[in-house]
């Protein structure tokens, strides 16, 4: 199992400590898996305390057997319960934080109230700073993203051999998921936030592609039960159905998001044309995107092209349209930046975005492409390389 170089992790902690000092936060206490992975390369049932100055503490309840102290940029100590933390800080000469950062975007109220008793100072939300820091990936992280991308290119290349007429979406999903697992997919897809119920992604054939859902994306899907009304359904795949496979690939913590359309025999010409419009929009965004360009500008460009193609009504949903065309990916599926209406924040080199211009046709299906790109100084570098065109089998 590959582990990030210690100097890489230490540099992440140092950059975050600079931000904390600039914002007058005395220390942060991080509980969430993805954030611990970012700073320590792994996660346990643990608290990661990062002071604005000084050495971080990785306080592990269970299982300390899983942490090699030589691999993390922190002193590793056992912890039974958070009430012990102030004593541990004091014993190490670390001041009690007057302003403590916590992940208030995900930390539940009941837990927070427990920490309020332990830390009588002010507790502020440090999640915006973490999300901003994590949005710009290092060369090491981009290397991991390339591993996930290569894995998914390999999985998508197997799909034409799996797809047969009369097969259900669910049966195809089972085969795609098994191929991804065999290729080293870790399974868990982290989506930051409350109630973000997600499993693999959307494999939607024909009318299933036109079904929207609770999930804030262009696709939804019927699901196979009303108790989880999202994603893969039971539609029997027939010739002419667009079979949209929008699955998230994650081999080593880092996610790539990728979508292709397959079809048995043929695809109706208007759907094929809409797919080609999606590819054209993606390519136009990829040509226009570079450091300094605002997310909102790129969204506007995508929307204009959809309008010119007469497809505005179908763009990024039908009825339940979402107002973005690309989102950041990394340890979580909903990272920064977002290429969405009105976004003023500018792209920076090292950001990673999944661009997904899609068109939804109720009762008929969804078409469009999605690829994951790194923002480089000169423009975008594409990570997922399987051809964009509809694959007719």
In this structure, what token pair is assigned to residue 241? 């159905």
Cα(203)–Cα(76) distance, integer angstroms = 42
The residue (of 75 and 320) whose beta carbon lies closer to a second copy is 320
Shortest approach of a second copy to residue 222 CB, angstroms?
8
The Cα–Cα gap between 3 and 252 comes to 10
| Residue closer to a second copy (CB basis): 198 or 288 | 198
CB of 63 to a second copy, least distance (A): 4
Per CB under 8 A, 175 contacts a second copy: yes
Helices 6-22 and 127-135: angle between axes, nearest 10 degrees: 130
Q: Measured from the CB of residue 212, what is the shortest distance to a second copy in angstroms?
A: 4
Question: What is the token pair recorded at 243?
Answer: 């079979």
Q: How far is the CB of 388 from a second copy (least distance, A)?
A: 27
Does 199 contact a second copy by CB under 8 A? yes
Q: What is the x/- site pattern for a second copy, positions 111-150, by CB under 8 A?
A: xx------------x-x-----------------------
- Does 33 bind a second copy (CB under 8 A)? Our answer is yes
- Single residue of 160, 187, 310, 342 touching a second copy by CB under 8 A: 187
Residue owning tokens 């081999």: 251
- Strands 201-205, 243-250: pairing is antiparallel
- Rounded least distance, CB 289 to a second copy, Å: 27
SS3 213: coil
Q: Which of residues 311-330 bind a second copy (CB under 8 A)?
A: 319-320
State the helix-helix crossing angle for 6-22 and 33-40, rounded to 10 degrees: 110
Single out the segment in contact with a second copy by CB under 8 A; choices: 18-26, 157-165, 211-219, 367-375.
211-219
Burial 210-244 (b: 16+ CB within 10 A, else e): bbbbebbbbbbbbbbeeeebbbbbebebeeebbbb
Nearer to a second copy, 117 or 269 (CB): 117
Give the bridge partners for 352, in sequence order. 374
Q: Which residue lies nearer to a second copy by CB, 321 or 348?
A: 321
Measured from the CB of residue 103, what is the shortest distance to a second copy in angstroms? 8
Interior CA angle at 304 toward 319 and 318, to 5°? Answer: 10
Residue 211: CB minimum distance to a second copy, A = 8
CB count within 10 Å of CB 313 equals 14
Residue 66 CB neighbours (<10 A)? 12
Q: By CB under 8 A, which span of 44-52, 363-371, 372-380, 385-393 interacts with a second copy?
A: 44-52
**Cα–Cα distance, 299 to 124 (Å, whole number):** 32
Specify the stretch interacting with a second copy by CB under 8 A; choose among 34-42, 73-81, 363-371, 380-388: 34-42
278-317 residues in contact with a second copy (CB under 8 A) are none
| Options 16-24, 26-34, 332-340, 371-379: segment touching a second copy (CB under 8 A) | 26-34
Q: How far is 141 from 253, CA to CA, in rounded Å?
A: 10
* Region near a second copy per CB under 8 A, out of 102-110, 152-160, 276-284, 375-383: 102-110
Cis peptide before 389 (omega within 30 of 0): no
Task: Please report whether residue 91 would count as binding a second copy according to CB under 8 A.
Answer: no
Structure tokens belonging to residue 382:
């594409």
Beta bridge partners of 122: 99
Task: Find the part of the chain contacting a second copy (CB under 8 A) among 6-14, 107-115, 238-246, 352-360.
Answer: 107-115
**Contact (Cβ atoms closer than 8 angstroms) between residue 271 and residue 308:** no
Q: In the bound complex, what is the minimum distance in angstroms from residue 392's beta carbon to a second copy? A: 26
Total binding residues toward a second copy, as defined by CB under 8 A: 75
Among 17, 28, 29, 44, binds a second copy (CB under 8 A): 44
Q: Work out the angle between the directed axes of helices 269-288 and 295-308 (0-180°, nearest 10).
A: 150
The interface with a second copy within residues 216-275 (CB under 8 A) comprises: 216, 220, 222-229, 231-232, 251-254
DSSP secondary structure code for residue 82 in this structure = G
């Amino acid at each position: 199992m590959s582990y990030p170089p210690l100097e890489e992790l230490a540099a992440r902690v140092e950059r975050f400590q600079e931000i904390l000092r600039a914002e007058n936060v005395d220390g942060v206490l991080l509980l969430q898996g993805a954030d611990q992975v970012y700073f320590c390369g792994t996660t346990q049932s643990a608290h990661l305390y990062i002071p604005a100055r000084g050495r971080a503490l990785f306080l592990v309840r269970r299982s300390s057997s899983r942490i090699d102290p030589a691999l993390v940029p922190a002193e590793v100590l056992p912890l039974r319960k958070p009430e012990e933390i102030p004593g541990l800080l004091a014993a190490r000469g670390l001041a009690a934080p007057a302003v403590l950062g916590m992940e208030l975007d995900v930390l539940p109220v009941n837990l927070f109230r427990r920490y309020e008793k332990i830390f009588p100072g002010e507790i502020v939300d440090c999640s915006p700073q973490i999300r901003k820091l994590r949005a710009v990936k290092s060369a090491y992280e981009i290397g991991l993203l390339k591993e996930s991308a290569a894995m998914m290119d390999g999985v998508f290349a197997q799909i034409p051999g799996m797809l047969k007429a009369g097969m259900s979406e669910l049966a195809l999903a089972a085969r795609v998921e098994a191929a991804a697992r065999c290729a080293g997919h870790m399974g868990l897809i982290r989506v930051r936030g409350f109630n973000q119920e997600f499993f693999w992604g959307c494999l939607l054939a024909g009318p299933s592609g036109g079904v929207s859902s609770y999930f804030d994306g262009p696709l939804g899907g019927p699901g196979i039960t009303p108790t989880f009304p999202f994603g893969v359904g039971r539609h029997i795949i027939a010739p002419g159905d667009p079979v949209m496979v929008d699955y998230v690939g994650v081999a080593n913590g880092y996610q790539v998001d990728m979508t292709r359309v397959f079809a048995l025999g043929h695809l109706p010409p208007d759907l094929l044309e809409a797919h080609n419009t999606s590819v054209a929009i993606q390519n136009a965004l990829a040509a226009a995107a570079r450091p300094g360009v605002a997310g909102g500008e790129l969204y506007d460009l995508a929307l204009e092209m959809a309008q010119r193609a007469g497809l505005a009504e179908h763009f990024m949903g039908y009825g339940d349209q979402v107002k973005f065309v690309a989102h950041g990916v990394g340890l979580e599926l909903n990272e920064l930046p977002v290429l969405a209406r009105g976004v003023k924040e500018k792209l920076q080199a090292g950001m990673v975005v999944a661009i997904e211009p899609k068109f939804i046709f109720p009762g008929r299906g969804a078409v469009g492409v999605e690829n994951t790109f790194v923002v480089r100084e000169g423009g975008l570098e594409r990570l997922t390389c399987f051809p964009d065109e509809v694959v007719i089998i």
